[in-house]
């Protein structure tokens, strides 16, 4: 089932969307499972954040944190597959599924735009996983009627700048904070 067929009626199809998944091949030939975030991923998400390097956590949250608080996890796990969406990238390690990446968006106040973020585990960066996760996220945002997607990132986050360029995002300095960039994409 495609996202397009699921996105038309959240109430009727949210269960179907949660079942959607893709097996994607990375640049090194390894495979990852991509699927929408599910409630049972909560502990996996906490481990993912805890295992990120301090720099990667800082780029993700634009502040220094060691691990996700219960309140932060509640917020991160709150997806409705329409106004708030998240895709996880999972691999099998030692008999269990491990989260190695996540992309997500949330509707902004005007409802025509959504803010996005993508985070890749340190050992899985530079393999094309960021582009794969963003491609699925952009498709979902379009299918759900958003007209523009944007992200606010540290100006020192060179990986995000490369990804944004590769995905067709425009870039400008944040007028409220010169240490940040705003990447935006017309959908």
Which residues in the chain land under pLDDT 50? 1-16, 18
Rounded Cα distance, 163 and 29, in Å: 20
pLDDT tens-digit map of 8-18: 333 334 444 54
**Helical ranges in the chain per DSSP H:** 3-7, 10-19, 42-51, 54-61, 70-77, 129-143, 158-166
Domain for residue 154, yes or no?
no
Domain for residue 165, yes or no?
no
Note the pLDDT of residue 19. Answer: 54
* Contact yes or no for 160/59 (Cβ under 8 A): yes
* Contact yes or no for 176/183 (Cβ under 8 A): no
Note the pLDDT of residue 58. Answer: 82
Domain for residue 159, yes or no?
no
- Where in the sequence is the domain holding 36, given as residue range(s)? 3-109+118-143
CATH code: domain of residue 129: 3.40.630.30
pLDDT tens-digit map of 92-136: 999 999 999 999 999 998 889 999 999 999 999 999 999 999 999
* Contact yes or no for 143/133 (Cβ under 8 A): no
Domain for residue 40, yes or no?
yes
* Contact yes or no for 121/159 (Cβ under 8 A): no
Domain for residue 148, yes or no?
no
Residue 97 makes CB contacts below 8 A (sequence gap 6+) with: 33, 44, 90, 91
Domain for residue 155, yes or no?
no
Note the pLDDT of residue 50. Answer: 92
Number of domains forming the structure of the chain: 1
Q: Supply angle C-alpha 98, 65, 101, rounded to 5.
A: 25
Domain for residue 30, yes or no?
yes
Task: Specify the 3-state DSSP secondary structure of 83.
Answer: coil
Note the pLDDT of residue 60. Answer: 83
């Amino acid at each position: 089932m495609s996202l397009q067929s699921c996105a038309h009626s959240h109430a009727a199809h949210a269960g179907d969307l949660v079942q959607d998944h893709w097996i994607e091949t990375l640049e090194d030939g390894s495979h990852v499972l991509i699927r929408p975030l599910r409630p049972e991923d909560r502990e996996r998400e906490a481990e993912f954040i805890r295992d990120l390097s301090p720099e990667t956590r800082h780029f993700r949250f634009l502040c220094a944190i060691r691990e996700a608080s219960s309140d932060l996890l509640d917020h991160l796990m709150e997806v409705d597959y329409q106004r708030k969406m998240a895709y996880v990238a999972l691999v099998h390690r030692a008999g269990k599924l491990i989260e190695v990446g996540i992309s997500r968006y949330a509707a902004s106040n005007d409802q025509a735009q959504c803010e996005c973020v993508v985070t890749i585990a340190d050992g899985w960066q530079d393999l094309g996983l960021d582009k794969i996760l963003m491609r699925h996220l952009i498709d979902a945002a379009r299918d759900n009627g958003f007209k523009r997607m944007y992200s606010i990132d540290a100006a020192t986050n060179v990986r995000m700048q490369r990804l944004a360029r590769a995905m067709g995002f425009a870039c400008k300095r944040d007028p409220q904070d010169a240490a940040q960039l705003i990447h935006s994409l017309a959908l």
